[in-house]
Homo-oligomer: A and B are copies of this chain.
């Protein structure tokens, strides 16, 4: 194989596929990037057997072929080369010579044919949305997945399509996040659970532009994201996702409207006095026109009042401050509505149009 590519194209390609390079494997081929020059197209591929990424690289093919190169070493080399054309040439012993201006590297590669190909995905069911929308909807829900491998389904997110709407759900046993967006077209329904890790890598790769689209294809076992010159394939999590409709109720005893930024800053300050291990709740006292937040710990105490508008009963309730902050950080509205029932029942933060619903369980406390 012999190809000539600009250094910046190589760096761009490497940074995309690197997200799928395995870093805890005994199979050294999975630590590689596969470089393929074939039928006029140069592609880079990485595959950790859960997640696979393939991207096209601009460049010139002098001789067709393929080689697998150690991802870390190859990535470091191309990053440090001068900003100019780079020649990558390999021989039948899998030795790769990388030349740029007067610098010349020789590294050992591996047989390209031993690299595991990405699964072929049948393109039957799909949706198309902007990269911006996909990035946002993941960011606005990903924080409430679980990292506990014993409840495997909780480590992923439910992607459900029905007609014109995509809804994304995540939950970890203490809270639920639900976001909905309207799609431009109507699609066949589907329901899949996508691993959290895949989504965390996808948000790093997609541009986040409103003008650039991503098409998502699903089969019973896999999901494929196609955008620009890149394909990301991931296994799905198997099993029936939690029935959340029965956990959602629209009854409430207390409804408050509060300035989001003021509430967030106030909780942020209060949580200074708590160490992760403490599990101390912040105490919220809701009375007419006022929310009083207070916290008392080994380190000291703090209290602060925020003006609100309230409907319904007064309430005294405790929360894990992190759970509230996670939600407040991903809501763009200036004013938010919080619906509460009693100190033991979950609270809901949701908009009137139903595009977002966040459920948070309260924490018991002694007072």
Which residues does A use to contact B, with CB under 8 Å?
73, 76-77, 80-82, 102-108, 265-266, 268-269, 272-273, 299-306
* Chain B residue at minimum C-beta to C-beta distance from A268: B80
The docked-state distance in angstroms from the alpha carbon of A103 to that of B269 is 9
The docked-state distance in angstroms from the alpha carbon of A293 to that of B306 is 66
- CB contacts (< 8 Å) of A300 on chain B: these are 73, 105-108
Q: How far is the CB of A277 from chain B (nearest CB, A)?
A: 16
Supplied contacts A105-B269, A105-B273, A108-B300, 7 more A-B pairs, CB within 8 Å? A77-B272, A80-B265, A82-B265, A104-B304, A105-B301, A106-B300, A107-B299
- CB contacts (< 8 Å) of A80 on chain B: these are 265, 268-269, 272
The contact sample of 18 A-B pairs, CB cut-off 8 A, is: A73-B272, A73-B299, A73-B300, A80-B272, A82-B265, A102-B304, A102-B305, A102-B306, A103-B266, A103-B304, A104-B302, A104-B303, A104-B304, A105-B273, A105-B301, A105-B302, A106-B302, A107-B299
The docked-state distance in angstroms from the alpha carbon of A265 to that of B103 is 10
* Chain B residue at minimum C-beta to C-beta distance from A109: B300
Q: How far is the CB of A124 from chain B (nearest CB, A)?
A: 45
The docked-state distance in angstroms from the alpha carbon of A305 to that of B99 is 12
- CB contacts (< 8 Å) of A104 on chain B: these are 302-304
- Whether A81 lies near B269 (C-beta < 8 A) is yes
* Chain B residue at minimum C-beta to C-beta distance from A103: B304
Q: How far is the CB of A336 from chain B (nearest CB, A)?
A: 19
- Whether B302 lies near A103 (C-beta < 8 A) is yes
Q: How far is the CB of A258 from chain B (nearest CB, A)?
A: 14
